[in-house]
Amino acid sequence: MKKSLVLSVVASTMMMAGGDIAAVEPVVAEIAPVAALSGDFGTALKNGKFTAKTRAFYFDRSFDKPGVDNATALTAGGIFKYVSGDYHGLSFGLAYYGSHRLGNIFTRDEGKGTSILGRSGEDLAFLGEAFLQYDMGNTMFKVGRQQLNTPLMQNHDLRILPSVYEAAIIRNKDIADTMLEVGYVKRYSGFTSKDNRFNDYNTKWGEDGLAYFSFSNGSVENLTVRGQYIKALADTAKDGSAVTVEDYKYFDAKYALPFGDKTYIKGQYGGNAYANGDDSTLVGAKLGTTLFDMVDVAVLYDQISDNAFKAVESGPMYSDWQQGYGNYEASTAMGGQMVVRPMDGLSLKVGYVDVAADEGNVRDDFTEFNFDGKYTINDYSKIRVRYSIKDQTDSSDREDRDDFRIIYYMNF
C-alpha cells in the first residue's frame, strides 16, 4: 500500500512537470562558470549565480533475513547554491545541503539505513559547500568545503546528497589535453553526507590527513588515461594507533578501437600499501560497443588479490554498481551490461555481475542484477527508477537484499 501511494505521488509530480522530451545527460549538470568581471566587489556579488539541484527521493530496501528490519524513506531536498562573480580572479561559493522527510508515510525509524536521512532517521541540513576560488590563466586554486572529482575521491552522488570534502586543491591545464591536480583533504561529510557534519577521519587517514595527485590526458588519438595517488601523511591516528592503509593508487585507460560503432576497450589497475599486511592489487578490463546506434553492450572483469582494495570514496571498479566506498575483499568478478535508448530522453540499463570471493572471504561473494531507467521530461526535470537484487552466497554479516528507488530531479 505504501509503495502504491509513493508511486502515485511521483506520477502526479511528473504530470505536473509536463513539457517536451529533450535529451540531456542523466547526471546533474555542473554549474556553468560565470563570466569574468572587471568591476568592483559589489558588481561581482550582483553578477553571482544562484542554482538549485532538487530531488524527491523514495528508497525501499527489503532484507531477506528474519529479524532484519527493512529500510524505507521518502524525502525531498538537494543543494541550493550561490557562486559569486569574478573579482580580479577571486570568487566564492556557499551551498545549503538538505534532505527532509515528506509527510508521515514512513517513520524516522524506518528511515534508518536508507542513507537519504541521518543514521537515526533525522533530517539532514548543513552548510555543504563554503569555498574560496582563485583563477589565474589555466591554473585554479580552491580551498574550503567542496565536491571533488577524482578516481578514488569523488562526490559519489548515489542518493539525495553527494559526499563533500574540506580540502585545498590546485588544478592546472597548461599542457594541451591534460589536467593535473594536487590536493590536501582533512575532513569530509561521509557517504551521502548522512552524518550531517564534516568528520575528522584520522583513525582511517592518519592524524595529518591525506595528500593526493591526480591527472587525466587525452593527447594520444583515440586514447584517454587518468590516474591518482593518495598518501596518508601520518602513519598514526590522534590516539597513537596505527593507520592500516598507507596509500591508495589507481590508473585506467580507454582506447577507441578502429572497428564497429563506438567500440572500445578499457583497463584498470589499482591497489593499496598496507602498514602491516600484504599489499592489495586490483586489475580489470572492459570491452564494449554500440549496436544500431541505440544499444550499448559491454562485458567486464575485475580481480582483487592479496588483500582488501580500498578507495577513499568512489566506485572505480567496472564490476561495482552498489558499494563504492568500503573495502573490497580479494575476489574475482565477471559480468555484463546493456543500455537501450529507444527514444530521445529515455535510457534503460540492465546489468549482471557474479562476484566470487577468495577462500576464507565471505563479504564479497554474491550475484547482483541491476536495472536503471532514466527519462527526461523537459530541460529542467527528469525521473529515474532503479531496482537491484543482490543475493549473498554465504555470509554471517551480509544479507540478501532488494533495493527499489524512485528519484525525481528538478534543476534551476
pLDDT at position 19 is 39
Question: Going by DSSP bridges, is the β-strand pair 124-136/165-172 parallel, antiparallel, or unpaired?
Answer: unpaired
Q: Tens of pLDDT along 142-187?
A: 999 999 999 999 998 889 999 999 999 999 999 999 999 999 999 9
pLDDT at position 40 is 87
Q: CA–CA separation, 188 vs 145, rounded Å?
A: 8
- Whether the per-residue pLDDT at 278 is higher than 60: the answer is yes
Cell of 93: 561559493
Taking alpha carbons only, the member of 338, 286, 290 closest to residue 317 is 286
- Whether the per-residue pLDDT at 34 is higher than 60: the answer is no
Architecture of domain 2-411: Beta Barrel (2.40)
HSE-up (13 A, CA, CB side) for residue 389: 3
Find out whether 72 and 110 touch, Cβ atoms under 8 Å. Answer: yes
Q: Is 114 strand, coil or helix?
A: coil
Mean pLDDT within 117-139: 95
Within 193-306, strands assigned E span 199-200, 210-217, 223-232, 245-256, 264-274, 280-291, 295-305
Give φ, ψ of 206 to 5 degrees: 95, 160
Find out whether 140 and 170 touch, Cβ atoms under 8 Å. Answer: yes
pLDDT confidence tier of residue 262, bands split at 50, 70 and 90: very high
pLDDT at position 41 is 87
Residue-wise DSSP of 318-338: TT-SS--SSEE-SEEEEEEEE
pLDDT at position 9 is 43
Rounded to a whole number of angstroms, the CA Rg of the chain reads 22
Identify the sign of the CA torsion 333, 338, 344, 346.
negative
pLDDT at position 301 is 97
Q: Who wins on pLDDT, 402 or 396?
A: 402
pLDDT at position 8 is 47
pLDDT confidence tier of residue 39, bands split at 50, 70 and 90: low
Cell of 35: 563570466
Q: CA–CA separation, 31 vs 16, rounded Å?
A: 25
- Contact partners, residue 233, CB within 8 Å, separation at least 6: 206, 208, 209, 210, 211
Find out whether 312 and 379 touch, Cβ atoms under 8 Å. Answer: no
Mean pLDDT within 313-323: 81
- Whether the per-residue pLDDT at 30 is higher than 70: the answer is no
pLDDT confidence tier of residue 396, bands split at 50, 70 and 90: low
Q: Who wins on pLDDT, 114 or 64?
A: 114
Secondary structure element (H or E) that encloses residue 155, with its range: none
Cα 158-159-160 angle, rounded to 5 deg: 135
Mean pLDDT within 201-218: 96
